[in-house]
């Protein structure tokens, strides 16, 4: 991906979303010819010259200091994830060590497989940096679908959300989930602009999904953290589940995602029912590992 173009488009999109009134500036209504703030207004808020900010918005971030980036981030009201993304785009040399993986997906240690398999009542899966599903337990397969029959390169959460029709049935707030997924991929693209597998994934989704193409053009950036999801499961019905995302510090860009229900809630009862259903015998899985169960009414 072209880092200069990405930096330019990201700054323009963040500037366009701010109205003068948002930052205490007068708004002259019909006399404004651009959406959002003007460059000179943003430069004034950040305490830099208009020429300096213009060069940066044109994609020239080679010599920009961390202090200036912080000032621009404050002026643009960037979130932590957006500020991180801005730094990666403006100063890509700071991420050289992260690029050493050459696009290869890290292997999952057997101990991590054992860990998620031991979570018999908790849907748990491990994501790679491109939202690749690299490991999952029976409960995760029972909840979101089993990816065991897919080729390894197609076991990807973004492909599932945008290309698998069952995802639209599963996630009650599908649009919110889609925005989250695209935002996480955007953050990854800023960290790994030379990752050929990520570039190929974005290209495929852009061709096959109008929704993805529109969301990608919005330059939304998100970190996958924690929150709540509403699901409509074909076996146990409605579920409201919280999720947590835990970075695995000694692994190469791997994250552990778990889902759980509020104790005593109807969703907790439904999750226990799903756990009983998922404990069906005679299972086989990827490699020599037991495979998660797939609901019979859903395709992978």
Q: Give the tens place of pLDDT for each residue, 30-66.
A: 566 677 888 999 999 999 999 999 999 998 877 888 8
SS3 244: strand
Contact in structure between 254 and 126 (CB atoms under 8 Å): yes
Q: Tell me the two tokens of residue 76.
A: 């643009």
Residues of the chain short of pLDDT 50, as ranges, are 94-101, 282-300
Which residue in the block uniquely carries the two structure tokens 């589940």? 241
pLDDT at 106: 67
pLDDT at 21: 79
Question: What does pTM read for this prediction?
Answer: 0.82
Q: Give the tens place of pLDDT for each residue, 274-291.
A: 999 888 654 333 433 333
**Long-range contacts of 120-125, Cβ-Cβ distance < 8 Å, separation of 24 or more:** 120/275, 120/279, 121/271, 121/272, 121/275, 122/258, 122/259, 122/260, 123/241, 123/258, 123/259, 124/256, 124/257, 124/258, 124/259, 125/256, 125/257
């Amino acid at each position: 991906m072209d880092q200069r173009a990405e930096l330019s488009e990201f700054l323009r999109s963040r500037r366009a979303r701010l109205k003068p009134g948002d930052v205490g500036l007068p708004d002259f209504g019909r006399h404004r010819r651009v959406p959002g703030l003007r460059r000179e207004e943003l430069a004034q808020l950040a305490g830099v010259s208009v020429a300096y900010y213009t060069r940066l918005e044109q994609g020239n971030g080679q010599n920009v200091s961390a202090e200036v980036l912080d000032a621009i981030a404050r002026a643009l009201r960037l979130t932590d994830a957006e500020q991180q993304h801005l730094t990666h785009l403006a100063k890509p040399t700071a991420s050289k060590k992260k690029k050493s993986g050459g696009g290869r997906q890290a292997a999952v240690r057997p101990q991590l497989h054992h860990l998620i398999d031991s979570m018999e009542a908790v849907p748990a899966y491990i994501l790679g940096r491109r939202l690749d599903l690299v490991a999952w337990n029976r409960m995760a397969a029972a909840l979101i679908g089993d990816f065991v029959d897919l080729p390894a390169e197609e076991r990807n959460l973004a492909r599932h959300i945008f290309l698998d029709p069952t995802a639209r049935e599963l996630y009650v707030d599908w649009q919110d989930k889609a925005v989250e997924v695209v935002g996480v991929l955007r953050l990854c693209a800023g960290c790994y602009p030379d990752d050929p597998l990520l570039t190929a994934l974005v290209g495929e989704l852009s061709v096959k999904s109008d929704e993805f193409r529109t969301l990608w053009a919005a330059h939304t950036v998100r970190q996958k953290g924690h929150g709540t999801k509403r699901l409509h499961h074909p076996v146990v019905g409605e579920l409201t589940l919280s999720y947590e995302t835990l970075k695995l510090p000694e692994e190469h860009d791997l994250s552990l995602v778990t889902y759980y229900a509020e104790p005593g809630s109807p969703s907790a009862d439904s999750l226990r029912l799903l756990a009983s259903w998922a404990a069906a015998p005679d299972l086989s899985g990827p490699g020599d590992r037991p495979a998660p169960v797939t609901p019979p009414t859903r395709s992978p």
